[in-house]
Homo-oligomer: A and B are copies of this chain.
Amino acid sequence: MVLGTKPEAGGDESEYLDVVGVGSPLVDVLSTTEDSRLVELGLEKGSMTLVDLEAAERLYGAMGPAVEVSGGSAANTMAGIAALGGSAGFVGKVADDPLGEVFIHDIRAAGVAYHPVLDPSAGDLGTGRCLVFVTGDAERTMATHLGAATTITPADLPVSLVARGSLLYLEGYLWDLPPAKDAMRRAIEVSHENDGAVALSLSDSFCVERHRREFLDLLTGEIDVLFANEDEIVALFGASSFEAALDDVEETGVLAALTRGAGGSVVVTPNGVVHVGATPVERVVDTTGAGDLFAAGFLYGLTHGMEPEACAQLGSLCAAEVIGHLGARPEADLAELAEAAGLPL
């Protein structure tokens, strides 16, 4: 397919999905906290740390009153695309437990196509959860127990669902797990076989450092669209500055959507670089999901024929909604917000 075009009028829309995402299905457990508490708990502010079930339970015990909201990076992005009126599917593994029920309910209620593979052997691990510590500056620090998400293998991949997407969206976080990585590589093959495009989110700068070589290799031929924030793109190229990383990414020829928090976003296209300001927010409460929802708006735009600048504006608008409240799933009607902001969908 050609990026940025809707399917032909008269095509079978019931079969077609704008985007199919592959990632870790998680339920987020969010709580506000002091910076000093992060230090006591040994958590690096702003990062995502993988923890085992025992550590997750210990950290939960030390956590303040919390709110539970379905999460998972790629799942948040798919929920955002659906909230804009786009069509989306999701691939990821949960356990047959109450958290799994919550995840399944929420993603389906959001209008995302999801057929969970409930591996009985994943029961002991439990559905993945992410403890999110939100500090006064609205920064989020995450400790993730991936649980059942880690058990995904290429055999679990719903090939027919992946084939329906005009664009495949991959979460970098899953690269930490060899069988999951194989499942992602298989998903890339399926997408290419069906003339789909492929997008990758770098997810986390520590994750990038762990898989730098492989991510760089993906940029030559496998990946069409790259999402990253400032730290992640600098880590990917081992660049001296964001500006230097911009030059590096331009050379790869991929379409890159780079977020800079309150500094807005930068889109690197074959025709040059576009800077877009951040959408103003009355009160930033919790930045969890900001990047995920930026990707949602951007991908909705891209799969509906919008120009890169408008794609980034739509991404900023979606990110602005999600950072105004606790949790990484949209609460407001994103399509309505876009309309009001002069970005008709």
Contacts and interface: CB of A to CB of B under 8 A. Distances in A.
Interface of A: 31-32, 60-61, 63-70, 79, 97-99, 102, 105-107, 109-110, 282-283, 285, 325-327, 329, 331
B32 A331 contact: yes
11 contacts: A32-B331, A65-B70, A66-B106, A67-B331, A68-B68, A68-B102, A97-B98, A98-B99, A282-B283, A285-B331, A325-B326
A65 B32 contact: no
Contacts of A327: 67
B68 A67 contact: yes
A77 to B, nearest CB: 14
Contacts of A64: 109-110
Contact of A66 (B32, B98, B105): B105
Q: How many copies does the complex hold?
A: 2
A67 B67 contact: yes
Contact of A98 (B70, B98, B109): B98
Contacts of A65: 70, 79, 105-107, 109-110, 329
A66 to B, nearest CB: 6
Contacts of A79: 65
A95 to B, nearest CB: 12
- Considering the complex of A and B, which 9 residue pairs feature the smallest CB-CB distances, nearest first? A68-B68, A65-B106, A98-B98, A65-B109, A65-B110, A64-B109, A67-B69, A65-B329, A325-B325
Nearest to A27: B68
Nearest to A333: B32
Given A98-B98, A282-B282, A285-B331, 10 more contacts: A31-B109, A63-B109, A65-B70, A65-B105, A65-B106, A66-B105, A66-B109, A67-B331, A68-B68, A326-B326
A58 to B, nearest CB: 13
Nearest to A126: B98
Contacts of A105: 60-61, 63, 65-66
Q: Which of A63, A97, A105, A110 has the most CB of B within 10 A?
A: A105
Q: Which of A67, A79, A99 has the most CB of B within 10 A?
A: A67
Contacts of A107: 65
Nearest to A134: B331
A327 to B, nearest CB: 6
Nearest to A332: B32
A234 to B, nearest CB: 33
Contacts of A106: 65-66
